[in-house]
Structure 1
Amino acid sequence: MAAELKPEVSFEESFALLDARLGRIVEAEPCAETPKPTYRMVIDFGKYGRRTSYGRFTSHPVDEVVGRLVFGVLNFPARQMGPVVSEALVLGVQYPGKDSGEATFVSPAVNAKLGSKLF
Structure 2
Amino acid sequence: MSFGDFLKADIRAGTVKSCSPFPAARKPSYILTIDFGPAAGIRKSAAQVTERHAPDDLVGRQVMALVNLPARQTGPIISEVLVLGFADESGAVRLAGTDVTVPDGARLA
TM-score by length of 1: 0.84
CA RMSD between the two structures: 1.1
Q: Is the 1:23–1:44 Cα contact (8 Å) retained in structure 2?
A: yes
Matches within 5 A, 1:93-104: 93-98=86-91, 102-104=92-94
Pairing 1:44–2:35 present: yes
Q: Provide the C-alpha distance between the structure 2 equivalents of 1:79 and 1:68, rounded to a whole number of angstroms.
A: 23
Q: Which residue of 2 aligns with 1:84?
A: 77
What is the one-letter code of the residue matched to 2:69? F
User: What is the aligned residue count?
Assistant: 107
What is the one-letter code of the residue matched to 2:76? P
**Which of 15, 21, 25 is matched with 1:34 structurally?**
25
How far 1:66 sits from its partner (Å)?
A: 0.7
Misfit runs of 4+, over 6 Å: none
Q: Which residue of 2 aligns with 1:58?
A: 50
Structure with more relative contact order (C-alpha pairs < 8 Å, separation 6 or more): 2
| Greater gyration radius | 1
TM-score by length of 2: 0.92
Give SS of 2:56's match. helix
Q: Which residue of 2 aligns with 1:111?
A: 101
How far 1:10 sits from its partner (Å)?
A: 1.0
Q: Provide the C-alpha distance between the structure 2 equivalents of 1:41 and 1:95, rounded to a whole number of angstroms.
A: 21
